Amino acid sequence: MAGTGFLGIIVVGLLVFIGSTHAQLQMNFYANSCPKAEKIVQDYVKEHIPNAPSLAASFIRMHFHDCFVRGCDASVLLNSTSGQSPEKNAIPNQTLRGFDFIDRVKSLLEAECPGIVSCADVLTLIARDSVVTIGGPFWKVPTGRRDGVISNVTEANTNIPGPTSNFTTLLKLFSNQGLDSKDLVLLSGAHTIGLAHCPSFSSRLYNSTGPGGVDPTLDSEYAANLKANKCKTPNDNTTKVEMDPGSRNTFDLSYYTLLTKRRGLFQSDAALTTNSTSSALINQLLSNPLKFFYAEFAKSMEKMGRVNVKTGSEGEIRKRCAVVNS
């Protein structure tokens, strides 16, 4: 009995330890140390995103890419550290933009409360507030993240799901972060906004197994249109294409509708229809009101925003988001 009691203490202690990794993320973490912090972020976003709504997609993508490498610690914002090539240089991150926007918000926060608000929280809040500003879903953002001091290009290339990934690969990369197939489908729904560059999907138009090199899982009419009017050559590296044609700045369900019509732009989009569980969720989303998608998407965003966060004395609070403190 004594041994059982001792084991119970160990188990309870372990659970407390595990829980503590998230315990220091809390709503209004800066209420006392920098009470205006979240309003400063929100006001700047509300002022500027209406003039550049496509940045909403950029920030949610940046947040996603950040969390998949060493957790949500703003390592994606760093320039070279210790002579090491940073995450910014990774193939999936070479088309990220909005770093200067984040720097401007951070400078406002530093002027208000020097050394208090982390870049990791700034990025997480900007991602949420920019999506809300274009009319998309709201989700809770508990704060208290701290900033990482390591940024590695290889880790980013390895851990960030790519546009050519199949379902098995996607699920493995999500599972590595504690996310499941439901999160995979819901977070992919962010492809309802934003643009893609031709290289991320041109292999489906020119180097696949169907007639003319077209991927047979891609709707032939859609493929023909893309080849004739968008990515006119296999080597086009500059043209941008709407991921959700006709409503790229509207956070809606049309992305999922396109998937059912074999018009998902990426191979990774089409992959969501190759699994019975993910296909069932897509159909469930399409058979319910938009608010159902918003509520489910919010849950997955909140879950992702907690991935491997640094809290307490881990990491640091960077003074400038692109460089570690000296």
Q: Roughly how many angstroms between the first and final C-alpha of the chain, as a whole number?
A: 54
The catalytically annotated residue of 22, 48, 63, 65 is 65
Q: What is the full DSSP assignment across 221-272?
A: HHHHHHHHHT--STT--S-EEESSTT-TTS-SSHHHHHHHTT--SSHHHHHT
The three-state secondary structure class of 17 is: helix
Q: Which amino acid is at 247?
A: S
Tokens of 128: 């949420």
CA dihedral 26, 324, 161, 180 (to 10 degrees): -20
Tokens of 248: 């790229």
Tokens of 68: 């998949």
CB of 126 closer than 8 Å to CB of 59: yes
Sorted by sequence, the CB contacts under 8 Å of residue 46 that are 6+ apart come out as 129, 133
Closest CA to 278 of 128, 163, 174, 158: 174
Q: Is 65 a catalytic residue?
A: yes
Closest CA to 250 of 165, 133, 138, 136: 136
CA dihedral 5, 9, 12, 13 (to 10 degrees): -170
CB of 122 closer than 8 Å to CB of 106: yes
Tokens of 19: 């829980």
Listed in sequence order, the DSSP H helices in 160-219 are 167-175, 181-188, 203-206
Q: Which amino acid is at 315?
A: G
Query: Any idea which residues carry the catalytic annotation?
Result: 65
